[in-house]
Structure 1
Amino acid sequence: MSNGPLPSVRCLLSNLPSMHVGDKVRFLGCVTEYSTHSAILTLQHEFPRGNKTIVNADVTLLLQNLNSEQTDIGQWVHVIGYITSIKQLSVKNIMGPNPAIVGAQILVLWTAEDLDIPSYEKALNPEPD
């Protein structure tokens, strides 16, 4: 039996709203915004099509080692962290599920170099046989 930290749950960004506050997660997201004032990195991944989940990722714990490449708009990043809030927005949406805003405290972040996004999506969301 280990006294170490709990492992993270690997999931798609679109699955984060179904998790619980306090869950440790690992996911992939595309940087859509970064606020140097609040140290919040905004991440999205429109998969499945129509998913509008937004993650406000608090990177305060990483500021000493965070580089500009990791915060560039359009950069894909892997993150491990804890969910701090989940807010389902009630918006009339004929294109799919209501959008959600998920807050996360990020512990580890690294760029997703040479990543095959469709293979990643399929691996985490395999189509039924």
Structure 2
Amino acid sequence: MSYGPLPSIRCLLSHLSKRHVGDKVRFLGCVTGYSTHSATLTLQHEYPKGTKTRVGADVTLLLQNLNSEQTDIGQWVHVIGYITSIDRTFAKATVGSHTENIGVQVLVLWTARDIDISSYENTLVSEVE
């Protein structure tokens, strides 16, 4: 019997909505915004094409060690954290169009250096199938 922390579940950012609130996850996302007021990074990864999933990543626990490189718009970052909320909003104008907003309490965040995004996507998709 192990009493250590639970391992994280590695998944694509677009698949976070298939998880549950409280799940510990690991994913890759691109920084599209940062609010210093709420200490929240906005992360996205449009895969598969047309995916409208947005993560509000609460980095409050990391503020002492967070650097500007990790909050730069366009920067890819790895995240390990707990899902705190899942919100699906459906657009009435377009059938099948919806946006998913996922809240994550970030435990660990680091910059993704020299990562081949398409290779990452193919690897995770093949693990799911």
The normalised TM-score by structure 2 is 0.94
**Partner residue in 2 for 1:68:** 68
- The alignment status of 1:43 with 2:6, answered yes or no, reads no
- Paired positions, count: 128
Q: Separation in 1 of the partners of 2:82 and 2:113?
A: 23
**Partner residue in 2 for 1:100:** 100
1:17-36 equivalences under 5 Å are: 17-36=17-36
Structure 2 SS opposite 1:6: coil
Deviation at 1:90, TM superposition (A): 1.2
Q: Which amino acid aligns with 1:112?
A: A
**Partner residue in 2 for 1:82:** 82
- The alignment status of 1:55 with 2:55, answered yes or no, reads yes
Structure 2 SS opposite 1:65: coil
Which structure 1 residue ranges, 4+ long, deviate > 3 Å from structure 2?
none
CA deviation map 1:56-106 (0-9, x unaligned): 000000000000000000000000000000000011445x65210000000
Q: Separation in 1 of the partners of 2:14 and 2:42?
A: 14
Unaligned runs of at least 5 residues, structure 2: none
Percent identity of equivalent pairs: 72
Deviation at 1:26, TM superposition (A): 0.1
**Partner residue in 1 for 2:112:** 112
CA deviation map 1:19-67 (0-9, x unaligned): 1000000000000000011000000000000001000000000000000
Is contact 1:51–1:97 with CA below 8 Å preserved after alignment? no
Structure 2 SS opposite 1:33: strand
Unaligned runs of at least 5 residues, structure 1: none
Q: Which amino acid aligns with 2:121?
A: E
